[in-house]
C-alpha cells in the first residue's frame, strides 16, 4: 500500500500511455470533492464541490478547491462530470465557470437542475448535457458510461471512464440500499459487467469504510419519524440538508398521515424542493404545503416546519431559532427533529444548538436518541461486496478523512487487491496509471481557497490567524507621538485594550516600559516608524505575556508631530 511522502516533488511529464488522476479536494476531508483526469493532453473534471468552514475559519463562507493546477489549461478540459447534486460535489462549479464559462457540464437531470439554479444566481448560463444510467458518451479521448447508484439524493451516478491508457470507475457517493424509497438500486449488474471488462483503477467512496456491516435502509427510519409525529404535542420542526429529497419526502408523508400542514423555511430548501417537485422526484400531497406567513392561522399541533441547519451552521434557520433570532419562537412542547448525521468537525456546533433548543423547552430528537437518520454512504460490508464484484487491478480510496480512506484501503487489500496496487493519497498528490500499475508520481499545489463575503481567494491562513487571535485573545493598541525634530515622546503612550477582563488601569504598568524602550531605540539612531512600532510591540507583548498570560494582537501606532 503506497502513500504520500513529504519529499514529493512536481511530477514528471505524463507518458503517452498514461492516465493521471489529481484530486484537488475530497481526499483527507469530507467535502470539496474534485478529481482531474488527464490523458493525451486532455482533461476531464469529476465533481467540483465546496467544503463548509469550521470554528477555526472565522468569517469564511465557503472553502473551494484550488484551481491553480488547471487555471492555465482550461481549454484542455473536455467537460465537468457531476456524480450527484450535493453541495460538496457541485457547490464550486460557479467559481470554476467564472474562469471559463463554456466548459460543458454533464450530469443527471436533477443534478443539472440544482446546479443550473445555482449558476443562475451567479448569472452564468452553462452548456449542459443531461445523461442517465446506461448512457455512453464520447468526449474526445474519454469514453464515458454512466451507472445508477443509490445515495441520499435521487439521480446519483457512478462514471466509468475508458481511455487508451486504461479504465477508471468512480463511484461518486453511494450505498447499496436494497429497499430504496424511489426504487432505484445501485446497479451491481453493471458493476459486475464492467469488472468483467476490466477496471484498472477503482475510485471508491470511503466515508463509511470504518463502519462495519451494511448501511440501514432508508425505509426503516419511517416508523421512527411516524412515532415523533404521533407523540408531538405542538409544532414539529425538522432540520435536514436542503438537498435531501428522500428525507423531505418521508416528512411530507408523515405529515399527511398526521393531518399536519408543512411550511418550508429557508431559501435553499424552498429552491431545491421546488426543483425536485417540478421534476417529479418529490411527490407533494395536495394541499399540504403552506406559506410560512400563514402559520398564525393554524394551531400549533397542525404545523410542521422543514428547515436547514442540521449541521449547526450559524446563519441557518435552526441556529437562529435556538438563539431567538428567528420569527419562529421555539418553546415548551415543540419537537425538533434533526434528520441528519453529523459531518466530522461539526459536532460541537450541533450540540450547542441542541442544548440551546432544549433550554428553550423543546424536545430534541436526533440520531443519538432515535433512529431518525441513516447514512447515504456504503459501509464496510457493501464496499467488500463491490470489491469482490468489480475485482479492480488498482484502488484509490476517495471521499473521506484519512481514517476513512485507510479503512477503505484495508478492505481492498482484504478482498484480494495486492497491497502495492492500493494507493492512499491526499489532496494535490498525483497518481499515474501506466501499463496497468497505479503509483504516486508527485504533488501539485493544492491549498484551501476561501470565499469571504465577495472576496474569493483574498483571505489566507495569515488573515484567519489574525481573526482567531482577535476572537480568542483580544487586542491592544498603543499610540505614541514623537517630536519630529528631537525624536522625544511628545504625547502618550496611550493604550486601549479590548477583549480583556482586567480593568484598563492595569495597562498603566506597561507605559514606563514602552517609554524606556522607545527612548533607548531613538538614542540608538532608530527613527523609522516601522522599526519603532516593532519596538513597542515587543515591549507590550513581553509585559502582557508575563503579567496577564495572554497573547493578544498588538497594534502599535507611531506618529511624528
Q: Which three cell numbers stand for residue 318?
A: 435552526
CA 45 to CA 333: how far, in whole Å?
49
Binding residues: 373-377
Assess whether the previous peptide bond of 493 is cis (omega < 30° from 0): yes
CA–CA–CA angle 90, 96, 97 (5° rounding)? 100
Place of cell 406559506: 291
Q: How far is CA 122 from CA 88, 94, 119, in A?
A: 18, 7, 5
Binding residues for substrate: 373-377
CA 333 to CA 27: how far, in whole Å?
43
Alpha helices in 360-439 (DSSP H): 380-390, 402-414
Strands 303-307 vs 236-239: parallel, antiparallel or unpaired: parallel
CA–CA–CA angle 43, 49, 51 (5° rounding)? 135
Strands 303-307 vs 394-398: parallel, antiparallel or unpaired: unpaired
* 3-class SS of residue 462: helix
CA 342 to CA 336: how far, in whole Å?
16
CA 106 to CA 138: how far, in whole Å?
12
CA 479 to CA 178: how far, in whole Å?
69
CA 505 to CA 249: how far, in whole Å?
61
Query: Would you say 74 and 99 are in contact if contact means Cβ atoms under 8 Å apart?
Result: yes
Query: Would you say 424 and 2 are in contact if contact means Cβ atoms under 8 Å apart?
Result: yes
Amino acid at each position: 500500500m503506497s502513500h504520500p511522502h513529504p519529499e514529493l516533488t512536481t511530477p514528471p511529464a505524463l507518458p503517452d500511455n498514461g492516465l493521471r488522476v489529481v484530486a484537488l479536494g475530497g481526499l483527507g476531508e469530507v467535502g470539496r470533492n474534485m478529481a482531474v483526469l488527464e490523458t493525451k493532453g486532455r482533461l476531464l473534471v469529476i465533481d467540483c464541490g465546496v467544503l463548509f468552514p469550521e470554528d477555526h475559519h472565522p468569517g469564511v463562507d465557503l472553502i473551494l478547491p484550488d484551481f491553480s493546477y488547471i487555471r492555465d489549461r482550461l481549454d484542455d478540459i473536455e467537460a465537468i462530470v457531476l456524480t450527484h447534486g450535493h453541495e460538496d460535489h457541485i457547490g464550486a462549479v460557479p467559481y470554476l465557470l467564472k474562469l471559463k464559462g463554456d466548459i460543458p457540464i454533464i450530469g443527471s437531470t436533477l443534478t443539472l437542475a440544482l446546479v443550473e439554479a445555482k449558476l443562475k444566481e451567479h448569472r452564468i448560463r452553462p452548456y449542459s448535457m443531461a445523461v442517465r444510467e446506461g448512457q455512453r458518451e464520447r468526449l474526445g479521448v474519454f469514453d464515458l458510461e454512466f451507472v445508477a447508484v443509490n445515495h441520499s439524493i435521487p439521480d446519483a451516478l457512478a462514471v466509468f471512464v475508458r481511455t487508451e491508457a486504461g479504465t477508471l470507475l468512480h463511484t461518486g457517493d453511494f450505498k447499496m440500499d436494497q429497499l430504496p424509497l424511489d426504487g432505484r438500486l445501485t446497479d451491481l449488474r453493471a458493476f459486475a459487467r464492467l469488472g468483467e471488462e476490466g477496471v484498472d483503477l477503482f475510485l471508491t467512496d470511503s466515508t463509511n469504510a470504518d463502519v462495519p456491516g451494511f448501511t440501514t435502509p432508508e425505509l426503516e427510519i419511517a416508523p421512527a419519524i411516524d412515532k415523533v409525529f404521533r407523540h408531538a404535542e405542538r409544532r414539529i420542526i425538522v432540520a435536514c440538508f436542503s438537498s435531501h429529497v428522500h428525507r423531505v419526502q418521508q416528512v411530507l408523508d408523515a405529515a399527511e398521515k398526521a393531518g399536519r400542514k408543512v411550511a418550508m423555511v429557508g431559501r435553499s430548501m424552498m429552491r431545491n424542493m421546488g426543483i425536485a417537485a417540478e421534476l417529479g422526484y418529490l411527490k407533494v400531497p395536495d394541499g399540504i404545503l403552506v406559506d410560512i406567513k400563514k402559520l398564525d392561522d393554524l394551531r400549533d399541533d397542525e404545523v410542521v416546519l422543514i428547515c436547514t441547519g442540521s449541521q449547526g451552521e450559524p446563519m441557518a434557520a435552526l441556529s437562529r431559532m435556538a438563539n431567538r433570532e428567528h420569527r419562529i419562537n421555539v418553546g415548551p412542547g415543540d419537537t425538533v427533529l434533526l434528520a441528519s448525521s453529523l459531518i466530522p468537525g461539526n459536532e460541537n456546533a450541533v450540540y450547542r444548538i441542541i442544548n440551546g433548543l432544549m433550554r428553550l423547552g423543546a424536545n430534541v430528537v436526533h440520531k443519538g436518541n432515535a433512529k431518525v437518520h441513516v447514512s447515504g454512504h456504503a459501509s464496510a460490508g457493501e464496499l467488500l461486496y463491490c470489491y469482490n464484484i468489480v475485482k479492480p487491478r488498482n484502488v484509490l480510496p476517495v471521499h473521506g478523512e484519512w481514517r476513512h480512506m485507510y479503512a477503505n484501503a484495508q478492505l481492498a487489500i482484504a478482498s484480494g487487491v495486492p497491497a502495492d496496487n492500493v494507493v492512499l493519497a491526499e489532496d494535490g498528490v498525483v497518481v499515474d496509471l501506466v501499463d496497468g500499475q497505479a503509483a504516486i508520481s508527485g504533488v501539485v499545489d493544492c491549498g484551501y481557497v476561501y470565499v469571504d463575503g465577495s472576496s474569493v481567494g483574498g483571505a489566507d491562513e495569515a488573515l484567519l490567524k489574525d481573526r482567531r487571535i482577535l476572537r480568542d485573545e483580544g487586542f491592544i493598541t498603543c499610540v505614541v507621538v514623537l517630536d519630529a525634530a528631537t525624536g522625544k515622546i511628545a504625547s502618550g503612550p496611550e493604550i486601549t485594550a479590548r477583549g480583556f477582563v482586567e480593568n484598563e488601569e492595569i495597562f498603566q504598568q506597561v507605559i514606563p516600559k514602552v517609554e524606556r524602550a522607545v527612548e533607548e531605540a531613538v538614542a540608538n539612531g532608530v527613527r523609522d516608524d516601522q522599526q519603532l512600532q516593532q519596538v513597542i510591540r515587543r515591549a507590550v507583548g513581553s509585559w502582557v505575556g508575563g503579567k496577564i498570560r495572554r497573547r493578544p494582537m498588538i497594534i502599535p501606532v507611531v506618529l511624528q508631530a
